[in-house]
């Protein structure tokens, strides 16, 4: 077989281990992470969202703390995993002094001196959570996304001016996304239970956002589903979490549809112009690939197990004919053996072409068909299912009932390039592992979709604060 653009995957025992062993300086203690939050400049910029939307000239007692303190509380809660533990630590004079130093660094010593002697209590937080933070959750999410994209650019992620190779995109030029089910704070499904022996009626608190769903491996979990997108280079604590989305029960299209909607918003953002595509799992299918491929971005995921080979067409030449099929995400040729059986042989891809502009892109594979009479060169469209009006009447994929985006992808699975890129999806799994570990008892610490979304937002702020601090300490981890 001729050389393929994407290469053949290496055997498992020959694949290099890219994970670097953690060093002592890669560790981050809890006091260090609190300092990272206090010195995180984006947090104070985000606080303008609360300042600008706070009601003016209202009666009653003035607020004991300015709004940015409650965002600090939210970020520190993303470290400790509970409001009670966060309030307890902020009441410690030493920890509160370190936070006031971070405030003085960004807002001036005068602002830091006006703060109370100790941090907010849990009662302060609960009141601000209900009256100040939750009402502006949507604005906080949008602003946090914009700030995270700018932070990614500062840290060398998604660079718009970097060289682009669509057939071999680099790790820092891609977004990685995945969904997880965060366990509900309680397993109760009904507000009341009856003890049949004693007749006692017990009241149970039910999470209105929780529902039973199946995670990877077929395990049923009751909780709330979230989607998170991130970008990173190599090195520990370098990941930037870009945005998240809560996926409600019975969302049209499920997790994949919500992921593509969020990814489309991200990729259309001016600060995401350097992003070449998205790495996601098998939840996305041909319809979702078609959406991103038409916008000129890649969607790299594994092929669905239930797909069977589909005939494409036959190439007819004066002295030979070649029967092309779609199998495993790429173009193959059906060849016949002497015993009457046949096999599908992958055809080498010599070039990946991307053409178009804005939301009207096309992708093509330039393939070489081996032949005893000399190799033939053929170009085949991939990644996009054409509809009536995009081709001559009767020739579109929809009219031919061929889902091209499902069966043919720009970077086919089972190749060296795909294996290298898709391995980055493990980053999403490690994000969710950290999220679960930071929660008290591994369960969400709030009831309802809005309060639980705020838990995820605080976790993102804490992670990005540490990432920014590590980048400031060591801007070039790849050189070590």
Cross-strand partners of 321:
316
What burial letters (b/e) apply to 236-261, b meaning 16+ CB within 10 Å? bbbbbbbbbbbbeeeeeeebbbbbbb
Q: Which residue has the higher pLDDT, 430 or 240?
A: 240
- Residues 6 or more apart whose CB falls under 8 angstroms from that of 159 comprise 153, 172, 173, 274
Tens of pLDDT, residues 183-224:
999 888 888 887 778 878 888 889 999 998 887 667 888 999
Nearest to 28 by CA among 79, 103, 85: 79
What mean pLDDT do residues 111-136 have?
93
Residues 137-182 have pLDDT tens digits of 999 999 999 999 999 999 999 999 999 999 999 999 999 999 999 9
What was the pLDDT predicted at 477?
Answer: 66
More confident residue, 263 or 62: 263
The predicted structure's pLDDT at residue 53: 63
Average pLDDT of every residue of the chain: 90
**What pLDDT does 480 receive?**
45
How far apart are alpha carbons 53 and 58 in whole angstroms? 13
Cα–Cα dist 464/480, whole Å? 22
Dump pLDDT digits (tens) for 329-385: 999 999 988 888 999 999 999 999 999 887 789 999 999 999 999 999 999 999 999
Coil vs helix vs strand at 218: coil
pLDDT band at 1 (very low <50, low <70, confident <90, very high): very low
- pLDDT tens-digit series, residues 130-140: 999 999 999 99
Q: What is the pLDDT of residue 218?
A: 73
Distances (CA, A) of 359 to 168, 267, 295, 353, 379: 22, 11, 4, 16, 22
Please count the other Cβ atoms lying within 10 Å of the Cβ belonging to residue 335.
Answer: 12
Among 20-24, 242-246, 284-288, 350-354, name the one with the lowest average pLDDT. Answer: 20-24
Radius of gyration of the chain (CA): 27
**pLDDT tier for residue 402 given thresholds of 50, 70 and 90:** very high
For residue 405, report the phi and psi dihedrals to the nearest 5 degrees. Answer: -65, -25
Ordered strands of the 321-327 beta sheet: 310-316, 321-327, 330-336, 342-346
CA angle, residues 12, 18, 19, in degrees to nearest 5: 115
């Amino acid at each position: 077989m001729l050389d393929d653009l994407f290469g053949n995957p290496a055997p498992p025992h020959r694949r290099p281990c890219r994970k670097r062993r953690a060093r002592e300086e890669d560790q981050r203690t809890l006091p260090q992470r609190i300092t990272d939050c206090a010195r995180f400049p984006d947090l104070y910029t985000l606080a303008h969202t609360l300042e600008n939307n706070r009601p003016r000239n209202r009666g009653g007692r003035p607020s004991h703390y300015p709004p940015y303190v409650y965002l600090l509380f939210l970020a520190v809660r993303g470290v400790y995993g509970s409001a009670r533990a966060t309030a307890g630590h902020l009441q410690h004079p030493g920890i509160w002094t370190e936070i006031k130093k971070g405030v003085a660094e960004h807002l001036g010593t005068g602002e830091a001196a006006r703060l109370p002697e100790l941090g907010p209590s849990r009662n302060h937080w609960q009141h601000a959570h209900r009256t100040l933070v939750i009402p502006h959750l949507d604005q906080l999410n949008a602003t946090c996304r914009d700030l995270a994209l700018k932070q990614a650019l500062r840290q060398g992620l998604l660079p718009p001016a970097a060289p682009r190779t669509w057939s071999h995109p680099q790790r820092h030029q891609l977004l990685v996304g995945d969904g997880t089910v965060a366990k509900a704070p309680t397993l109760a499904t009904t507000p009341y239970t009856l003890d049949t022996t004693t007749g006692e009626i017990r009241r149970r608190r039910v999470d209105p956002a929780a529902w039973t769903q199946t995670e990877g491996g077929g395990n049923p979990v009751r909780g709330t589903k979230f989607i998170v997108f991130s970008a990173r280079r190599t090195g520990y604590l370098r990941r930037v979490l870009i945005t998240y989305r809560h996926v409600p029960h019975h969302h049209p299209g499920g997790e994949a549809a919500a992921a593509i909607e969020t990814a489309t918003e991200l990729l259309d953002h001016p600060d995401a112009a350097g992003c070449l595509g998205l790495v996601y799992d098998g939840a996305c299918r041909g319809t979702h690939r078609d959406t991103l491929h038409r916008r000129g971005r890649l969607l790299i995921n594994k092929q669905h197990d239930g797909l069977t080979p589909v005939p494409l067409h036959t190439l007819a030449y004066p002295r030979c004919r070649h029967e092309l099929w779609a199998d495993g995400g790429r173009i193959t040729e059906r060849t016949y053996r002497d015993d009457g059986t046949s096999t599908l042989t992958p055809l080498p891809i010599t070039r990946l072409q991307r053409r178009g502009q804005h939301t009207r892109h096309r992708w093509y594979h330039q393939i070489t068909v081996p032949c005893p009479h000399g190799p033939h060169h053929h170009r085949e469209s991939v990644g996009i299912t054409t509809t009536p009006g995009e081709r001559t009447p009767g020739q579109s994929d929809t009219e031919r009932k061929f889902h091209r985006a499902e069966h043919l992808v720009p970077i086919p699975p089972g190749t060296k390039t795909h294996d290298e890129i898709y391995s980055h999806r493990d980053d999403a799994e490690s994000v969710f592992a950290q999220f679960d570990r930071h929660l008290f008892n591994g369960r969400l610490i709030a009831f309802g979709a809005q309060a639980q979304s705020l838990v995820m937002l605080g976790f993102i702020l804490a992670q990005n604060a540490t990432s920014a601090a590590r980048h400031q300490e060591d801007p070039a981890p790849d050189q070590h």
